[in-house]
Amino acid sequence: MLYGYMAYFSEPKAFLAAARRLREEGFRFEAYAPNPVEGLKEALGDGKEPVPWVAFLLGILGLGLALFLQVYASLDYPLNAGGKPVLGWPAFIPVAFELTILTITLGVFLYLLYVTGLPLAWHPVKHAPNYVEVLLDRYGLFVPVTEARLEEAASLLRALGAEVEEVRRA
């Protein structure tokens, strides 16, 4: 069964140009690289990552939980320690800080998994015979079989100087 076409580039520049071209032509494709490539986000036409805002909201949540925990614990079981006020808020700062950071860290990690769809047990691109190379030192553009103008995309990629191979289940 044909899963699509994988085009390999050895140079990041040619890879970026091809990604830009494919996007302009309106093809459906995915880009693969062994490391983050500068300028790829623009080539794919992606906007800014909302990660900082997600982190900010998680931080508010964590801070709120931490303050609630400490205020609740202090009121429910009041202890007079050295005559300090029951709600002596400066003493709450360390725990509030740690729990804020803990919430953001765990939350952002889960957000990363959610958005990327990881953990991923299987993906068609892994059937490309030379797939390991896009984790090593080459760059890949994968056109899935769901793309209507599949052959057109493959010949365009060949024209752009890529080495194109079929991705099939063995």
Partner 1 sequence: MDKDLIKGEFTEKGLIEELLKPVEKPPPRPWWVVLAVGGALTLAWLYAILVTFLRGLGTWGINQPVAWGYDIVHFVWWIGIGHAGTLISAILVLMRQNWRDSLNRLTEAMTLFAVLCAATYPLIHMGRAQNFYWVFPYPNTLAMWPQYKSPLSWDVLAILTYLTISTLFLYLGLIPDLALLRERSAGWRKRLYGWLSLGWTGNARHWALYRAVYVLLAGLATPVVISVHSVVSMDFAYGVVPGWHLTVFPPFFAAGAIYSGFAMALTLIIPLRRWYRLESVITERHLDWMAKVTLASGLGVAYIYLLEIFIAWYSGEPAEWAQQLWRMTGPYAPFYWAMMLINVVLLQTLWFPRLRQNLTWLFVFSLLANVGMWLERFVIVVISLSHDFLPGSFHLYQPTWVDWTLFLGTIGFFLFGLAVFIRLFPPIAVAEMVHLYHRLRGH
Interface residues with partner 1 (CB under 8 A) are 12-13, 19, 30-38, 40-41, 44, 46, 49, 51-52, 55, 69-70, 72-74, 76-77, 79, 81, 84, 88, 91-92, 94-95, 97-99, 101-102, 104-106, 108-109, 111-113, 115-116, 118-123, 125-126, 131-132, 134-137, 140
| Residue whose token pair is 């400066």 | 90
For the bound state, the minimum distance from the C-beta of residue 141 to partner 1, rounded and expressed in Å, comes to 9
In this structure, are residues 54 and 27 in contact, taking their beta carbons and an 8 Å threshold? no
Closer residue to partner 1 (CB): 94 or 161: 94
Closer residue to partner 1 (CB): 27 or 131: 131
Candidates 59, 4, 74, 56; CA nearest to 32 is 4
In this structure, are residues 6 and 164 in contact, taking their beta carbons and an 8 Å threshold? yes
- Look up residue 132 and give its two tokens: 């390991």
Please give the span between the terminal C-alpha atoms of the chain, in angstroms, as a whole number.
Answer: 8
For the bound state, the minimum distance from the C-beta of residue 100 to partner 1, rounded and expressed in Å, comes to 9
